[in-house]
Amino acid sequence: MQIKRRNLYQISLAVLSLVFIALYGRALISINHGISLLFCAFLILLGVLQLSLAVLCLLEASREEKELRSGLIDPLTELPTDVHLAEAVRKFLRETSGDKNRPKYSMVCLALIFFRRFSAMLGDTMDDGLLRVVGDTLRKNYTCVVRNSGPRFTFLAPAYPTLSFDLTNALSMAILENLGRQYADMTNFRFGFCPLIREVVDDPSERAIQEAYSAARMALRYAEDDSTANAVTYDKKLRERIQMERNIELRMLHALSGGEFLVYVQPKHHLVKDVCTCSEALIRWNSEEMGFIMPDAFIPIFERNGFIVELDFFVLSFVFQHVQSELAAGRKVLPISVNQSKVTLAFPNYMERLQNLVRRYPVPLYYIDLEVTESALENDAGSLLSYVYAIKELGFSISLDDFGSAYSSLNTLQGLPVDTLKIDREFLARAITYERSKIIIRHIISMAKDLGIEVVCEGVETEEQMKFLRACGCDYAQGYYYARPMPFEEYKKIYLAD
């Protein structure tokens, strides 16, 4: 716990008052014997000192209140807010500039992540407790610590390779000791680092420090989005990635109107009939400036900026048009699945746009399947679930994509009207090495069958995998073993020719 200036004044005031009372009492006892002038003057001086301290206490209390009210101090952790950061860092770097042993420093942005499984248990009080413990631990061990909005903090720390590991350990230990194992287990951390370069350290200008702060915040944003690493450093690689993402955002609108997005298709192979009976539409971007881009490079960006809604409706319209024109021409058509991002599903007039498409292209919806990921339904199960029911009521069939890649698989299945379940390709990849994964896949397939749900397994790359799935009674296999995603025209030639 930090001792504030006001507390020091109060303690001094209390001590002085005690001395004053003792001396005053002594003076009263010896009043008949006469009191020296010097003693009287001393008592008066003590009185004046007390009064001054009391005034200082009041002034300090009002200054603190002003700071709280103007947002300079966070009332919960009693840490400064980031308004103070640049000044504090500048002061610290100047004060330590003569120190030959001064380590290299990184600006660190930290965010607390609460595991979804436990978040319902976290009441407001517990949130406050966690933030206080984290704030106190940082204050004790690091310098220039400030609280940002939400569960976020920024500070300076010596830069070395295992910093994020040590920080995680120190914070987890503090939470364990103060709040118990349950809370230590449910809290995780993400870090964004910006190593302070020599120019900033030697001449710590406000602008240079603010830039380092923005860079650390940017690195944290990437760390928060990344499920594989808990720390991201603002370095050359990240700068290139940011530049690439900016280019993508700058060009996306033009790309859609300019026909740069291409709908590719990958067949799904029926394991009993041994033919392709349906397929999945997968988007590609053939950019004039940036070349051929795979969806993993742009879909996360579009999900963040909302453009994915336009892209998903572009693919959906394309598929509707294809089905309508082929049926009208009396040609062969096979059902096609279209991916629907969780952002698209949550879009306010999603249902309205879907209904408009259905009205515009009156084709049997048997031909169009919507793939929704399991993770889309986890975060906001209530409202997204009601969308899924509404989609189903319109007549679309629904596939649950990436099944087995998240936590609540079995729960999701209980209340969801899905027609098909797609076993995640990572699951199948693990089955090569782990017998346990094979057992799980076998049981998922048999459980789905009992529930009347069909099963597709993704990422089938070998004959051995195909034979294993066939023996388990899996309905469909999708993967490079049969065919890679291909341009739509090629798919039509190979699979839809009579």
Residues forming the site for ligand C2E (CB under 6 A): 266, 282-283, 294-296, 299, 308, 312, 315, 339, 341, 401-402, 425, 458-461, 478-480, 485
Segment 28-67, which members bind Ca ion (CB under 5 A)?
none
- Residue with nearest beta carbon to ligand C2E: 479
Shortest distance in whole angstroms from residue 375 CB to ligand C2E: 10
Which of the choices Ca ion, ligand C2E, none does residue 412 contact, using the CB cut-off of 5 to 8 A by kind?
none
Q: Are 276 and 482 in contact (CB under 8 A)?
A: yes
Which of the choices Ca ion, ligand C2E, none does residue 147 contact, using the CB cut-off of 5 to 8 A by kind?
none
Which of the choices Ca ion, ligand C2E, none does residue 480 contact, using the CB cut-off of 5 to 8 A by kind?
ligand C2E
For Ca ion, the closer of residues 131 and 455 by Cβ is 455
For ligand C2E, the closer of residues 322 and 425 by Cβ is 425
Among 401, 416, 448, 486, binds Ca ion (CB under 5 A): 401
For ligand C2E, the closer of residues 80 and 485 by Cβ is 485
For Ca ion, which stretch binds (CB under 5 A), given 109-117, 187-195, 238-246, 397-405?
397-405
The two three-digit tokens of residue 171, written as one number: 């914070």
Q: What is the C-alpha to C-alpha distance for residues 95 and 195, in angstroms, rounded to an integer?
A: 19
For Ca ion, the closer of residues 137 and 339 by Cβ is 339
Which of the choices Ca ion, ligand C2E, none does residue 99 contact, using the CB cut-off of 5 to 8 A by kind?
none
Shortest distance in whole angstroms from residue 336 CB to Ca ion: 12
Shortest distance in whole angstroms from residue 444 CB to ligand C2E: 16
Shortest distance in whole angstroms from residue 246 CB to ligand C2E: 21
For Ca ion, the closer of residues 77 and 339 by Cβ is 339
Shortest distance in whole angstroms from residue 288 CB to ligand C2E: 20
For Ca ion, the closer of residues 130 and 376 by Cβ is 376
Q: What angle is formed at CA 196 by the lines to CA 190 and CA 198, rounded to 5 degrees?
A: 165
For ligand C2E, the closer of residues 176 and 384 by Cβ is 384
Segment 327-346, which members bind Ca ion (CB under 5 A)?
339
Among 74, 82, 378, 402, binds Ca ion (CB under 5 A): 402
Q: Which residues contact 109 (CB under 8 A, 6 or more apart)?
A: 148, 152, 153, 154, 191, 192, 213, 216, 217, 219, 220
Shortest distance in whole angstroms from residue 339 CB to Ca ion: 5
Shortest distance in whole angstroms from residue 484 CB to ligand C2E: 7
Kindly tell me the burial class for residue 258, based on how many C-beta atoms sit within 10 Å of its own C-beta (0-12, 13-18, 19 or more). exposed
Which of the choices Ca ion, ligand C2E, none does residue 137 contact, using the CB cut-off of 5 to 8 A by kind?
none
Shortest distance in whole angstroms from residue 392 CB to ligand C2E: 19
Which of the choices Ca ion, ligand C2E, none does residue 479 contact, using the CB cut-off of 5 to 8 A by kind?
ligand C2E
For ligand C2E, the closer of residues 338 and 413 by Cβ is 338
For Ca ion, which stretch binds (CB under 5 A), given 106-114, 293-301, 371-379, 488-496?
371-379
Shortest distance in whole angstroms from residue 480 CB to ligand C2E: 4
Q: Which residues contact 315 (CB under 8 A, 6 or more apart)?
A: 263, 281, 283, 338, 339
For ligand C2E, the closer of residues 217 and 322 by Cβ is 322
378: left (phi over 0), alpha (psi -120 to 50) or beta: alpha
Q: What is the C-alpha to C-alpha distance for residues 30 and 24, in angstroms, rounded to an integer?
A: 10
For ligand C2E, the closer of residues 82 and 475 by Cβ is 475
Neighbouring CB atoms inside 10 A of 2's CB total 11
Q: What is the dihedral of CA 203, 204, 206, 212, to 10 degrees?
A: 120
Which of the choices ligand C2E, Ca ion, none does residue 64 contact, using the CB cut-off of 5 to 8 A by kind?
none
Q: What is the C-alpha to C-alpha distance for residues 10 and 4, in angstroms, rounded to an integer?
A: 10
Which of the choices ligand C2E, Ca ion, none does residue 475 contact, using the CB cut-off of 5 to 8 A by kind?
none
Is 77 a binder of Ca ion (CB under 5 A)? no
The two three-digit tokens of residue 373, written as one number: 């990921």
Shortest distance in whole angstroms from residue 333 CB to ligand C2E: 19
For ligand C2E, the closer of residues 154 and 287 by Cβ is 287
Q: Which residues contact 270 (CB under 8 A, 6 or more apart)?
A: 276, 277, 475, 476
Which residues would be at the binding site for Ca ion (CB under 5 A)?
339, 371, 401-402
